[in-house]
Amino acid sequence: MFGFRPTLIPTLFTIPALITLLALGTWQVQRLGWKQDLIDALQTRATAPEQPMPAGPLNEEAHEFLHVTVAGVYDHDHEFHLLNRSRNGEPGVNIVTPLLRPDGSAILVNRGWVPFDLRDKETRPQGLVEGEVTVSGLLRFVKPQSWIQEAVVPPNEPDNNAWFTIDAAAMTAIAGTPPLPDYYILSGERAPPGGFPVGRQWLLDVRNNHLEYAITWFGLAGALVVIYVLYHRRRPEAEA
């Protein structure tokens, strides 16, 4: 027969570690459902026929990934450059341009990718479309950064037109447009004049690995319990 007598130090280590592993596993299960809902919304809304931009207040849950059209005039004098973007392994930037709408409002349009040597708009004059245009693309919402993103993503440098995240309030102040909303259009332009910016920068095949992550965390929790129990098993003669 074997006995079981826990000791202080291993117990003080095991309990918080076990709680942490179980919490991480539970979080991944929650993320699994969230990601599946996100994939379903993306697949359903992005492949549906395009529709005019909905009127009134918009919210992420109901309107994210809608395939919309919106008319307006590009404000090329105030385009913004999103850094650390690549296409087929080639680094570059995404061009984000305010679109001034006929009703007096404005919205940001992520027009797509250009290589670094075409970052300055003067190098791609054909892409500076004049007059009213109709933009077709996916409606996306600006997400608040997680603490991990805040730790690893560099801060925006407005003075250098170097943006790592979209900041609607800061971009409004610089462009002098009507208040830009916390959502934007991800352009679906397939053949822009001059070839750039390259639109349709999205994937409909989104990976969902959260189940594997959950199994990993719960598996580690189970292994920790087994190790803890085996470590504290005592033979009768060892207890005497």
Distance (Å, rounded) from C-alpha 51 to C-alpha 66? Answer: 8
pTM listed for this prediction = 0.72
pLDDT in tens, 21-59: 999 998 888 888 777 777 777 777 777 888 999 987 898
pLDDT band at 219 (very low <50, low <70, confident <90, very high): very high
Residues 139, 184, single domain; the answer is: yes
**Which domain range does residue 23 map to?**
6-35+208-239
pLDDT value at position 1? Answer: 53
Pairing relation of β-strands 106-115 and 183-187?
parallel
In a shared domain, residues 167 and 222: no
Residue 229, token pair as written in the block: 């129990």
Is there a single domain that holds both residue 101 and residue 180?
yes
Total domain count for the chain?
2
Closest alpha carbon to 220 in 23, 5, 12, 4: 23
Does 214 share its domain with 191?
no
Answer yes or no: do 144 and 189 share one domain: yes
- With a CB cutoff of 8 Å and minimum separation 6, the contacts of 42 are 65, 204, 206
CA–CA gap between residue 143 and residue 162 (Å, rounded): 19
Q: What band does 240 get if pLDDT is binned at 50, 70 and 90?
A: very low
Position with higher pLDDT, 189 vs 171: 171
Per-residue pLDDT reduced to its tens digit, 47-104: 788 899 998 789 888 888 899 999 999 999 999 999 989 888 899 999 999 999 999 9
- Indicate whether 201 belongs to any domain: no
Collapsing DSSP to helix, strand or coil, 38 comes out as helix
Which of 131, 114, 132 is closest to 123 using CA atoms? 114
What is the per-residue pLDDT across 111-170, written as a single tens digit (0 to 9) for each?
A: 999 999 999 999 999 999 999 999 999 999 998 877 767 888 899 999 999 999 999 999
Q: Looking at the domain assignment, is residue 47 inside a domain?
A: no
Sign of CA dihedral 46, 197, 94, 131: negative
Does the pLDDT of residue 204 top 70, yes or no? no
The pair of three-digit structure tokens given for residue 78, joined into one six-digit string: 């105030």
Rg of the chain in Å (alpha carbons): 26
12, 104: one domain: no
Q: Specify the DSSP class assigned to residue 67.
A: E
Distance CA 131, CA 148 (A): 42
Q: Are residues 15 and 122 in the same domain?
A: no
> Do the domain assignments include residue 1?
no
SS3 state of residue 124: coil
CA 158 to chain centre: 21
